[in-house]
Structure 1
Amino acid sequence: MVTLDRLVNVLGSYGVRLSGSAVPRATVLRSVVLHEATERSGTAIGDVLLAVGARSVPEALQWARASQSVAVLCRGDAAAAGDESDIAVLTVDPTVPWSELAAIVYGLVLEGRETAAGRGPTDLFALADSVADSIGCAVTIEDAGSRLLAHSRLQAHADAARAETILNRQVPAALHDFLSEHGVFAHLSHSDEPLFVAAEPAHGLTGRTVVAVRAGRELLGSVWATSREPLDGTRRRALSDAARTVAMHVLRSRASADLERQVESDLVTRLLEGSADSATAASRLGLRQTALRVIAVHADIPGEPHAALLLAFEHATSGFGWSRPGRSSLGRNTLYTVLPSEDVAAARQWVDGMRAALPTHAAIRAGISAPAEVIELAAARQEADECLALHEDPSTPDAVPAYDESWHDILLQRLRTAARSTRAPARGPVAELRRHDAAHSTQYVATLRAWLTAQGDLAQAGEVLGVHENTVRYRLRKMVQVTTLDLDDPHQRLAMTIELAAHPTP
């Protein structure tokens, strides 16, 4: 089911604008037509009219009324429609070709049924049932990453491997490794011929015939039929034909998903950039106005620099809006997700879910902002980026840092960044003690650090250094001979503490 509001939102990124109209945005759209009256069939009737060839908006409206349409796409001056038109007029930018718009509108309106991905035009489960009926085998449809897209109801010859694949929504890791070692995926990568895989009881496999799903040279996925023996000629051809049908459905589904992802990503980007209409963008995304956190994510797979980030974005934007709490945008090398959450544990749980969804060899690093209101999301994005940057320090634990818990670490990180950019003092007590340590192999900087950390407790400082407190006292006296060191001045103690924190190495 597709509403006028959704159609307007998606087409908005393609230069289509809705004029003033009395048609409710919640109006459901179920059919699309072109203006094509013939003697045999008469005027075509449908909810959305593509007024291809209309010379003006009034003419397009005339066609739309004849077609009993509630919305019309046309070129021309939207003002000609009036502010209270009984038909929603969507004016098309002259630079956008009708062929492109037609594909989008048909995909959204005619085929906007529920899918496993939560959007897009196709019912792969019904297709899997149809294939299973035609070849008499249980069928699964998987994507190129061996994740389950759909499966048939038919359970003939079903085995443990199929059950586990359906339960976990992806091929078990051990079975995947087995298939890879035996060249199954290598075959799928270059051949369109069905391949029989013999039974392997150790992995719960009773036998499979598999065929690649391909669009041109791109491998989109595969269709698997549970069969104890190789399929005969007729059923083998039926499986190959099914793979071509699946390819068409997957492409259309992916195109539809990409449309909605683009709209969502654009709106989230506007929020994170502090756009003036941030409240409107948040409303369109279904986000509340307060208690929002921004999560910044880096994902990496060795040897595949962009694959992990794209998989992360796909996972973050899969599912219906009401079934996933966050809204996401893909930056240059970072995934940003705005998550309604006052509790940082919910944000960390979201990151854990991302880790579980990606391949086991993918490395995930993330940072979480403090809670923010919609108008504060630009600042929250910077907080998330700075938390993410903490992972650059090898001493940072694997736990995902959050700004409201790690603000002090971020402050020190900023100081270290300033120090690395040669903004640290070249003179002064700390700098002079460093030069003395380098020239005479003394431990004055370490001693000063320990004494300041212990807040003047000689015994505690000595324990940290592994020396007697008298040794600490002796070093402090010698340090006064090297530089001007007024340890009784609280302002100097604070300044030295900051400089030592900004430059942690001795």
Structure 2
Amino acid sequence: MIRVSALIESLGGAVLRPVVSGNRDVITDVTLVGGDDTDLEQPGNLVLGLGIRTAAAAVELLRRSARTGASAVVLESPVVDDPSVVEAATELGVGLIELHARASWTHLVWLTRSILDHSTALTGSQVRREQSDYSELFAFADAAAAIVSAPVTIEDAHSRVLAYSERQDTADAARISTIVGRRVPEGIVRHFRSRGVFRHLQESDEPIRVAAGPDDVLPRLVIPIRAGKELLGSIWAVDPGLVPEDQVRELTRTASVVALHLLRLRAQSGAARQMAVDRLRAALLTPDQAADLQLPPGPWRVVALAEATGAGRSDYPIELWASVLRRHGWPQPLLTSIDDMPMAVVTDDAAANTVGSWMWLQTVAAELYADDRRVSALAGAPAQTTKQLSRSRSEATELVGLARSGLLDMPSTTFEKAWHEVVLARAGSAILTGTLLAEGPVQALIEHDRERGTEFVTTLATFLVHHGEPKRAAQGLHVHPNTLRYRMKQITDLTGLDLTDPRRRLAVGLALTAVLDNQDHYLSAANHDTANAPKDSTTVDTSSEVAGNPKPLEG
């Protein structure tokens, strides 16, 4: 099976265009509709509306498809854009897709069927690398070379060599270096660019002849490989003599076959990548889904690749992270996304030069952080078994909120290093969301500060931070030690708090931490109706600051 969205994305817009998103996004089979008697009983079908020319026929096909649980219907223009057809697809929850005018139904059936067969073959095994087979392209290169009686290379749209012919009798130095490096050398690229070759490939379907160049570069015959309006690559033939027009036409027909093959390879590799992403996501969410997950030798860490600021959708989506990690040497990153948060699974290897390890990822994150200080890599504790990956993922996710609060070291940290912040955050969350503060000494101090304009919450917190030493606590508050002692006596009289009891001291410390870590919530309450409140005589400096707390808390 394959997702509708993945199929459209894999074909790159050269064949299909989404019109209406349906309620079902998984394709299990393909059915070519030739008439009303076509069997549509199989749910999850991609229904190909061959011969549907009227809006009425299209609406009826959509209704039949909805009754049988089809995922989507493919129609041609202009009927696919008819308002009644679009409205029907929307109401029925059936996906509606346009087949581009320059694509054929036969090609679509072949491409979709090959993708489904490929994904079915992969169902029982973990996809760890792209399974695409480029061997057929070498056969195409040999066939093209036979047509023009000259060496041939097949390149993608970025001048990367995909295949080349065996024939080398008239090869020049540029061709040899291209084959050895699997990429056209930069100097040769500049030569062809100066001749307008690449601009022509982007704009035209017509073959182009390129004259000889410097360093004994022989003439070339270049045939664009296109699918619709999209350039997929090109066929380059060394052209020591003028290739006859009939051979050029034959080579052009070969290019159309190569285009279909490239589309199939791209779609298959896209399906493989999507399957890997889905399987890894399931393993990170549910321990039972991780039993058959094949990974490098463990232990592993799950890393949240989050922005250190903001809470919205990341400017670094999974696609961008995949590109960055590949550029740094990880050919098949173990990446997925959960709630739009990119997640990576790395090995807990101590060697910084081990690609795909936590130490290696820290180096990558530091490099990115130098350019964009929002980047962060937040790792859960090591997972010794695949079933523990979901626990590591939960821990990594927990660190995201702390990073966005400015409580963690950037650009990377681990759950173990941040354990104290995690403990305080968990305790504070329980305290603030529960009923523990409805009564008790901290609530009494909050209410007193609110009514009298005092700073008892800040004072007690600073006193505890400095282990009950009046002089150091007074320095932290910028007040005289006698003022601090007077305040502490008032606090004790007000609350009856016994700070010699270690458990009570721990409890009040956790409650104060929860309040001070959520100052916006506290201040909104503390400042309510205090505009005209009389200042307490114990208040000396309203800009006093609790040690270790980055923001002053005004009473």
SS in 2 for 1:367: strand
Question: 1:138 touches 1:156 (CA, 8 Å); kept in 2?
Answer: no
Correspondent of 1:341 among 339, 348, 351: 348
Deviation (angstroms), 1:257: 1.8
Aligned letter for 1:329?
Answer: T
Q: Cα distance, 1:404 vs. partner?
A: 1.4
Quote the residue 2:377 is aligned against: 366
2:363 and 2:254 mapped to 1: Cα distance? 36
Contact 1:128–1:141 (Cα < 8 Å) also in 2: no
Deviations 1:24-64 (A, max 9, x none): xxxxxxxxxxxxxxxxxxxxxxxxxxxxxxxxxxxxxxxxx
Query: Could you tell me the TM-score, scaled by structure 1's length?
Result: 0.53
- Equivalent residue number for residue 172 of structure 1: none
Equivalent-residue separation in structure 1 for 2:463 and 2:224 (angstroms): 68
Whether contact under 8 Å (2:326, 2:332) holds in the other structure is no
Are the counterparts in 1 of residues 448 and 454 from structure 2 also a CA contact under 8 Å?
A: yes
* Structure 2 gap ranges (5+): 1-25, 30-108, 122-128, 166-170, 176-181, 209-221, 237-244, 520-552
1:310 maps to 2:319? yes
Question: Residues 303-335 of structure 1: CA distance to partner in whole angstroms, max 9, x if unpaired?
Answer: 997883233356668999xx7686333334133
**Equivalent position of 1:498 in the other structure:** 510
> Post-superposition shift, 1:336?
2.8
Alignment match of 1:487 (pick from 489, 494, 499): 499
Question: What do residues 323-357 of structure 1 show as CA deviations (whole Å, max 9, x unaligned)?
Answer: 76863333341333322215496415225547879
| Alignment-derived partner of residue 483 in structure 2 | 471
**TM-score normalized by the length of structure 2:** 0.49
Amino acid corresponding to residue 304 of structure 2 in structure 1: A
Relative distance call for 1:432 and 1:341 in structure 2 (3 A) is same
Q: What's the secondary structure of 1:482's corresponding residue? A: helix
Number of equivalent positions: 365
| Matched residue, 1:450 | 462
2:361 aligned partner, one-letter code: W
Q: Say yes or no: does 1:461 pair with 2:473.
A: yes
Match of 1:379 in 2: 391
| CA gap 1:344/1:486 in 2 versus in 1, 3 angstroms | farther
The unaligned stretches of length 5 or more in structure 1 are 1-12, 17-96, 110-116, 159-164, 170-174, 197-209, 226-233
Superposed, 1:237-252 pairs within 5 Å as 248=260, 250-252=262-264
Label 1:241 to 1:469 Cα distance change in 2 as closer, same or farther (>3 A): farther
Work out which of the residue numbers 414, 418, 423 in structure 2 matches 1:402: 414
Is the contact between residue 366 and residue 387 of structure 1 (CA under 8 Å) also seen in structure 2? no
1:408 positional shift = 1.6
Equivalent residues of 2:153, 2:164 under 8 A apart: yes
- The corresponding residue for 1:54 is none
Instruction: Give the direction of change, closer, same or farther, for the CA distance of 1:449–1:221 in structure 2 (3 Å limit).
Output: farther
Q: In the alignment, what sits opposite 1:434? A: 446
- Root mean square deviation of aligned Cα: 6.0
Kept in 1: contact 2:281–2:336 (CA 8 A): yes
- Is 1:293 equivalent to 2:301 in the alignment? yes
Aligned amino acid, residue 309 of structure 1 = I
Q: CA deviation at 1:452?
A: 0.7
What's the % identity of the aligned pairs? 22
Kept after mapping to 1: 8 A contact 2:141/2:152: no
Deviations 1:65-113 (A, max 9, x none): xxxxxxxxxxxxxxxxxxxxxxxxxxxxxxxx9984545557999xxxx
SS at match of 1:371: coil
Alignment of 1:316-331 (within 5 A): 327-331=334-338
| Distance in 1 between residues matched to 2:411 and 2:368, nearest whole Å | 18
Q: Which secondary structure state, in structure 1, belongs to the residue aligned with residue 448 of structure 2?
A: helix
CA gap of 1:371–1:501, structure 2 versus 1, over 3 A, is: same
> Structure 2: which amino acid aligns with 1:328?
L
Letter in 2 for 1:405: K
- How much does 1:427 deviate? 2.7
Does structure 2 conserve the Cα–Cα contact (< 8 Å) formed by 1:419 and 1:502?
yes
Question: In structure 1, how many angstroms separate the alpha carbons of the residues matched to 2:271 and 2:300?
Answer: 25
Report deviation, 1:428: 1.9
For 1:341 and 1:147, locate their aligned partners in 2 and report how far apart those are by CA, in whole Å.
Answer: 37
* Deviation sequence 1:451-478 (CA, Å, 0-9, x none): 1111112222223223333332222123
Contact 1:214 1:247 in 2 (8 A): yes
Evaluate the alpha carbon distance shift between residue 216 and residue 474 of structure 1 in structure 2; reply closer, same or farther with a 3 A threshold: farther
Give secondary structure in 1 for the equivalent of 2:463: helix
CA contact (8 A) 1:126 1:152 kept: yes
**Aligned mates of 2:287, 2:463 — CA distance in 1:** 49
Does the 8 A contact of 1:412 with 1:501 survive in 2?
A: yes
Which residues of 2 match residues 45-124 of structure 1 at below 5 A?
100-105=112-117, 119-122=131-134
CA contact (8 A) 1:120 1:253 kept: yes
